Structure 1
Amino acid sequence: MTTTSPAPFAAETGSPAAAEFREVTQRFGDFTAVDRMDLTIGAGQFTTLLGPSGCGKTTSLRMLAGYTRPTEGRILINGQDATTLPPEKRGLGMVFQSYALFPHMTVAENVGYGLKLRKVGRVDREAQVTEALEMVGLAHLARRKPRSLSGGQQQRVALARAIAIRPTVLLLDEPLSNLDARLRVQMRSEIRRIQSETGLSVVLVTHDQDEALEMSDDMVVMKSGQIMQQGHPADVFSAPANRFVADFLGYENFLTTSQGITLAIRPEHLQVQDTETDAVDEALNLRATVTDVAYRGVDTLLMLRARDPSGEEVDLLAETRGEDPGRYTPGDNLTASAPRHRLVQLGDD
């Protein structure tokens, strides 16, 4: 019987890049899904492609996986040109949104399927399957069929199947979108733990900013097939490059100065004062009118109308905590204070 050892989790070449996109473009007829992308996936890092539907993130993942060939450019894996390699030759693991488990196979058979295709011997295959199932906490369900499992358990089986082959890069295509909110939070932690323990290079596609911020070492924000900003989540969150990134990350409030500079501030950083005499020092203070109030238990959202420094009318959102929910009502006049150290200057999209 042929015995083939699975590919190791970590890159073999010593290269800091597990994968690279070099001037990659993908066109479908007249539509450009990905436009001259240059991207480095760091070895041993958790990289997230984040953006709205249609931004090119899933197309990028499919090109990396080998399911779609770029119209132009090159894709490297472990420093080797993989642009024309079929998926099964790339040494990658992938977890789909739908899990794609075989209903007639047991959990163990599902997890071992990729190893069997790679002609890994039975003894080694069983060891790899057991290791992967233990990693996701499902070793006790090895003989079950997928139909008897919960959605969260099926997701774990799909994850175990992908990591059992010890992939060079693990690709995750919105794998948590079918789970309820509690399970999504739990699985974020589980996936991050597995990545940390194994040293896997991971690429996650998501439209959920909370997932990206919580799980990433490197966050790539995309729009219309192009990278708008890339960096550590804390750096991107605190200093978005442009209005698109700021808006996508929930900044909500945008102001224009008399010099035409665009500023952004998050709702939780916009302070409200009853009168002008209470205006905050070292802040941009605006007279505002309450247009709506939304009580949410732990906080209250105030929708405001004001004029920014350029003279334009703007709608603002302030998030207040610990306030009496009945303190403000529509029509009240107040001062909205944007502390200058909380204002972010934005560049062009």
Structure 2
Amino acid sequence: MTSAAEFVGVSQKFGDFTAVDDLSLTIAEGRLTTLLGPSGCGKTTSLRMLAGYSRPTAGTIRIAGRDCTRVPPERRDLGMVFQSYALFPHMTVADNVGYGLKLRRVAKEERRRRVMETLELVGLAHLAGNRPKKLSGGQQQRVALARAIAIRPKLLLLDEPLSNLDARLRVQMRAEIRRIQAETGLTVVLVTHDQDEALEMSDDMVLMRAGRVMQQGPPREVFPAPANRFVAEFLGYENFLADAEGRTLTVRPENLRVAAGAADADAPAGPGGLLLRGTVAHIAYRGADLLVTVDATDDTGAAVRLLCDVRGGAAEGLSPGGEVTVDAREGALVRLPD
């Protein structure tokens, strides 16, 4: 697989604080890669170094095989969309989209053609003459995206571009960005703290913590097999307990089944499965499902609190203080490394 960009032993320090710590990472060409992690994990600093807005303390950054560590941003042939869309309020939509082309001295007729072609791609050709203040947040986001795409960059960098949109628009724009990336074949690097966004949009996801990569791979490989507890917690694995050998297990709330009564607590759970006896501590109504909190004891005798996502019909007979059995099939359990 061809490399669009590479970080080779890259570090970034601000005084005594290490924002990025010896990062080595390959961004594959023609794919959408997400840098995912909590605030302060180094994902935005990494993106800014790739864009050329921040110079690494150590290491090398290559774009299309070329050492760009000290190359200024305007000579890296990149497009970038920030959290704030940074549109020029006095310009029309078309002029905003064509701004980068004008700076590159693209001929007027060619510029007009590429602007309209790009606005067609994002579904805004009919608003070419409008000014940004007349647009919705989602439309402004598309204009910013079109401006970045119009220059036909080697890399498109997106820094939490959906964070200012409401929940419904965020979902729509995830699909829109994915469609545009697929249609254009662009290499996209997207920074986000939203695991759902990363899982839905990524060809490749990179989970970061304290400036280091914790795990990298396609969502379908990373999600069912988190490399450590940090990754598991970040991806929504909320239940952690030990098996009889003392190894740490984790299981997602939707993969736990809860049944009223303790009569079957000694029944076999199947090879490698989980079966525990417990007491309901709390039930939270969430519309289509219930979040049932169960206090139980794991196979080592340690007290554990389990969160179980139960569909309405399966919650019959459950009530706070009631005895229950909690079980999960072997395939739903993830055994984490020590």
- Calculate the TM-score normalised by the size of structure 2: 0.96
Quote the residue 1:9 is aligned against: none
Equivalent residue in structure 1 for 2:328, among 338, 346, 349: 338
Q: Is 1:233 aligned to 2:223, yes or no?
A: no
CA contact under 8 A between 1:18 and 1:42: conserved in structure 2?
Answer: yes
Whole-angstrom distance in 2 between the partners of 1:229 and 1:330: 39
For the residue of structure 2 that corresponds to 1:304, the secondary structure is strand
> Which letter maps to 1:64?
L
Equivalent residue in structure 1 for 2:283, among 289, 293, 299: 293
Quote the residue 1:8 is aligned against: none
Q: Is 1:215 aligned to 2:201, yes or no?
A: yes
How far residue 260 of structure 1 moved from its aligned partner, in angstroms, is 2.8
For the residue of structure 2 that corresponds to 1:157, the secondary structure is helix
Quote the residue 2:245 is aligned against: 259
Equivalent residue in structure 2 for 1:277, among 264, 268, 271: 264
Superimposed CA distance per residue, residues 29-70 of structure 1 (whole angstroms, 9 cap, x where no aligned partner): 000001111110000000000111111000000000000000
> Which letter maps to 2:240?
F
Quote the residue 1:30 is aligned against: 16
Q: Is 1:42 aligned to 2:64, yes or no?
A: no
Quote the residue 2:297 is aligned against: 307
Quote the residue 2:317 is aligned against: 327
For the residue of structure 2 that corresponds to 1:44, the secondary structure is coil
**Over 3 Å off, 4+ runs:** none
How far residue 329 of structure 1 moved from its aligned partner, in angstroms, is 1.6
Shifted more, 110-119 versus 339-348: the winner is 339-348
CA contact under 8 A between 1:102 and 1:146: conserved in structure 2?
Answer: yes
Shifted more, 15-24 versus 325-334: the winner is 325-334
CA contact under 8 A between 2:264 and 2:325: conserved in structure 1?
Answer: no
C-alpha spacing 1:280/1:115, structure 2 compared with 1 (3 Å)? farther
C-alpha spacing 1:115/1:148, structure 2 compared with 1 (3 Å)? same
Equivalent residue in structure 1 for 2:232, among 224, 240, 246: 246
For the residue of structure 1 that corresponds to 2:313, the secondary structure is coil
> Which letter maps to 1:39?
L
How far residue 287 of structure 1 moved from its aligned partner, in angstroms, is 1.2
Quote the residue 1:147 is aligned against: 133
Task: Give the aligned CA root-mean-square deviation in angstroms.
Answer: 1.3
C-alpha spacing 1:148/1:280, structure 2 compared with 1 (3 Å)? farther
> Which letter maps to 1:281?
A
How far residue 319 of structure 1 moved from its aligned partner, in angstroms, is 0.7
Whole-angstrom distance in 1 between the partners of 2:310 and 2:255: 9
CA contact under 8 A between 1:280 and 1:337: conserved in structure 2?
Answer: no
Whole-angstrom distance in 2 between the partners of 1:189 and 1:320: 29
Whole-angstrom distance in 1 between the partners of 2:287 and 2:280: 19
For the residue of structure 2 that corresponds to 1:58, the secondary structure is helix
Whole-angstrom distance in 2 between the partners of 1:148 and 1:118: 28
For the residue of structure 1 that corresponds to 2:144, the secondary structure is helix
- Calculate the TM-score normalised by the size of structure 1: 0.93
How far residue 257 of structure 1 moved from its aligned partner, in angstroms, is 2.5
Q: Is 1:58 aligned to 2:24, yes or no?
A: no
Equivalenced residue count is 334
Whole-angstrom distance in 1 between the partners of 2:337 and 2:64: 34
C-alpha spacing 1:324/1:338, structure 2 compared with 1 (3 Å)? closer
How far residue 280 of structure 1 moved from its aligned partner, in angstroms, is 5.6
For the residue of structure 2 that corresponds to 1:310, the secondary structure is coil
Whole-angstrom distance in 2 between the partners of 1:31 and 1:258: 41
Quote the residue 2:94 is aligned against: 108
Whole-angstrom distance in 1 between the partners of 2:258 and 2:329: 11
How far residue 326 of structure 1 moved from its aligned partner, in angstroms, is 6.2
CA contact under 8 A between 1:37 and 1:227: conserved in structure 2?
Answer: yes
5+ long unaligned stretches in structure 1: 1-14
Whole-angstrom distance in 1 between the partners of 2:19 and 2:325: 45
For the residue of structure 1 that corresponds to 2:74, the secondary structure is helix
